[in-house]
Amino acid sequence: SEGKTMALPLSLLLSLSQSKDIVNALGTNVTFFTHSDQRNKAKEEESNNNKEEEEEVKYIETFQSSNSTPKLHAMDCEMVKTTKGIEVARVTLLRYKQDAATHNKEDYDVLLDTLIKPQNPILDYLTDYSGMTPQLLENVTTNLSQIQCLLLSLICKDDVIIGHSLENDLRCLRLIHGCVVDTSVIFRGRNGRKYCKFL
């Protein structure tokens, strides 16, 4: 079935990220961490190259909202290859409408569909897989930290996220979330390998 979409303006989502709940969560309930080996590697590169490295984006964790019932989301990210490895260049987040099941149809809102400026220089746009091109990302200014704030304003700890190979998406978003349904785990070939032919 064809779902109805409702794209929220980026400016509105940015304002949502400044809400009292998000500000409080960033100060108390959200866990930030950076792997020690990555931090040490960054320091070594800074010393060897004799230049200041841009601060690495930290991990964030979704938190429980006191006035929210669990929701169902679908997420997908597109990646590019940079001088520091694979980074996210686009994120899409859909929310399944809770009353859609009663009408026996798929109905959802597009909460987020945004291009992201990678933190490091791009080596390969991986266009065949990601659809990303130099033209698409040329004037993009939205960074990963801004997207993280938006995701915290849209996804709660008890919400369910559906996606394919979600560990890659969550890793590139630096997002910790426990309630997931990964279709790459559920749908596997007879040899146990991942596939998405029928998805």
Q: Which residue has the higher pLDDT, 108 or 188?
A: 108
Where residue 28 falls among pLDDT bands split at 50, 70, 90? very low
Q: Which residue has the higher pLDDT, 192 or 157?
A: 157
For 54, other C-beta atoms within 10 Å of its C-beta total 9
Q: Are 64 and 37 in contact (CB under 8 A)?
A: no
Q: Which residue has the higher pLDDT, 22 or 186?
A: 186
Is the per-residue pLDDT at 26 higher than 80?
A: no
Among 55-64, 141-150, 152-161, whose mean pLDDT is lowest?
55-64
Q: Provide the CB-side half-sphere exposure for 108 (13 A, CA).
A: 17
Mean pLDDT calculated for residue range 8-19: 52
For residues 184 and 196, what is the distance between their CA atoms, to the nearest angstrom? Answer: 7
Q: What is the pLDDT of residue 23?
A: 46
Q: What is the pairing mode between strands 122-124 and 72-82?
A: antiparallel
Tally the residues of the chain: 199
Q: Are 54 and 119 in contact (CB under 8 A)?
A: yes
* Cα–Cα nearest to 91, from 70, 110, 72, 119: 110
Where residue 11 falls among pLDDT bands split at 50, 70, 90? low
CA dihedral in degrees (107, 199, 92, 116; nearest 10)?
Answer: -170
**Residues 38-61 pLDDT 10s:** 556 555 655 555 443 457 899 999
The position carrying tokens 């032919």 is 197
Where residue 6 falls among pLDDT bands split at 50, 70, 90? very low
Per-residue HEC secondary structure of the chain comes to CCCCCCCCCHHHHHHHCCCHHHHHHHHCCCCCCCCHHHHHHHHHHHHHHCCCCCCCCCCEECCCCCCCCCCEEEEEEEEEEECCEEEEEEEEEEEECCCHHHHCCCCEEEEEEEECCCCCCEEECCHHHHCCCHHHHCCCCCCHHHHHHHHHHHCCCCCEEEECCHHHHHHHHCEECCCEEEHHHHCECCCCCECCCCC
Please state whether the predicted TM-score (pTM) of the whole model is above 0.85.
no
Q: What is the pLDDT of residue 61?
A: 95
Per the prediction, the chain carries an average pLDDT of 78
Among 61-75, 112-126, 155-169, whose mean pLDDT is lowest?
61-75
Among 9-18, 50-59, 168-177, whose mean pLDDT is lowest?
9-18
Which tokens go with 138?
Answer: 């040329």
Is the per-residue pLDDT at 95 higher than 90?
A: yes
Q: Which residue has the higher pLDDT, 84 or 6?
A: 84
Is the per-residue pLDDT at 195 higher than 60?
A: no
